Amino acid sequence: QIFEALNNIGEVVACLESVQDTIAAGVSPAEIAVLVSDESVYGPVIYKLAERMNLKANLAITKPLSGTSCGTWLELTGELIRNEYETAPFLSWLLHPVTQSWLSKKTHLTRSQVQRCLHELHAVCAQKNVSQVSLLSPEGFTGLHGSAALEPAFQWLRGVQARSHTLEEWRDVLNDYVAEFELLDHANEGSGVSLELAVKTAFENFDAAIAAYSQQFKANQKRLTTAEFWQLLRTHLLNQKVRGIGEPLAGVQVISIPEARLFPFHTVFILGASEGFFPKALPKDELLDDFLKRRLSLQGWQALEAREDLTFQLLRARIPDLRIYFSVERLQSTQNYSRYVEMLLAED
């Protein structure tokens, strides 16, 4: 079965709705898999929509650390520090789950009380057109429900200023943030210990690299501005790839296409069956063309194509119920049918 959607979000929505219908028809979630041709495109969308639809899914896919809860919080914190006292980044930072958890522990309020207060603060800022947090007088928020939740945030904000530090000093600042907000305790995200371990390892590697550099160039360290350090953080920490395998065969499995070749699934949904993604585009090697690679006994294009063709044929032969999704547009560019889709359409 082949389904067409306008874009990748439409693909995911239609796919997850079909997954729910399949489960309702009596198929065990452990026998259902959603295969993604591009983890970076489909992973975040599936994660958010599955949560909203109360669909238990095991996302065993790779993503950048910036796509985790820890990473998004660091991005918002960096934006808040760079845009000192601006209301929009401050409210976004407040509404992040890591910040809400921190406020709840600081004030001994429930998460629902904290959320209600933050949403009321958002409404007050919009109503009074407040563009800077410093313009919020105490009278502006003390009447809000659970206003005590805001005091730790304002205290923390007063201590945060854009400044320049040596790399070793910035390392201490980052470690203080991680410890104060118990950031690594939020690394799990329901994907099991494996994702938590991967995120912690990424932080440890980044910290060790900074420590080694600081020790080697201790006598001649350049001072970095807030913007420079956060660019360094984004490049060398938040871009690191992390992966959680969750609980294999617990719930609907969301994995990459090659990983599904030998699993005994009953129903499989393939997302992103467009040319260049499944099968993937052939690599462009500027140094060695395909002929020279084969003469040197290296893997050429034929080996790569054969591997993906084998994957498709195995899925087609072993899976009783195979459903393929294609989107007309992806990232504002028009897509073409995968040759596998064209082959199936020609057979029909």
Please confirm whether the linkage preceding 279 is cis (ω < 30° from 0): yes
Share of the chain above pLDDT 90, in %: 19
Tokens matching residue 56? 């238990």
Structure tokens at 220: 């001649």
The per-residue pLDDT for 145 is 47
At 175-206, the pLDDT tens digits run 999 999 999 888 766 555 677 888 899 999 99
Question: Is this model's pTM higher than 0.75 or not?
Answer: no
Structure confidence by residue, pLDDT tens digits, 281-296 = 666 655 566 667 666 6
Q: Is the pLDDT of residue 59 over 50?
A: yes
Q: What is the mean pLDDT of residues 70-74?
A: 91
Give me 280's structure tokens: 């993937």
pLDDT above 50 for 339:
yes
Q: Are 83 and 103 in contact (CB under 8 A)?
A: no
Least confident of 102-106, 144-148, 323-327: 144-148
Nearest alpha-carbon partner for 251 in 45, 97, 53: 53
The kind and range of the H/E element at 251 are none
Read off the pLDDT band of 148 (50, 70, 90): low
The larger pLDDT score, comparing residue 136 to residue 159, is at: 159
What is the reported pLDDT for 324? 92
> Average of pLDDT values for 244-250?
69
Please give the average per-residue pLDDT across 323-344, as a whole number.
82
Question: What span, in angstroms and rounded, lies between the C-alpha atoms of 140 and 135?
Answer: 9
Query: Could you write out the DSSP letters of every residue in 305-316?
Result: HHHHHHHHHHHH
Considering only the C-alpha atoms of the chain, give the largest distance between any 2 of them, rounded to a whole number of Å. 78
Contacts of 141 (CB under 8 A, 6+ apart): 121, 124, 147, 150
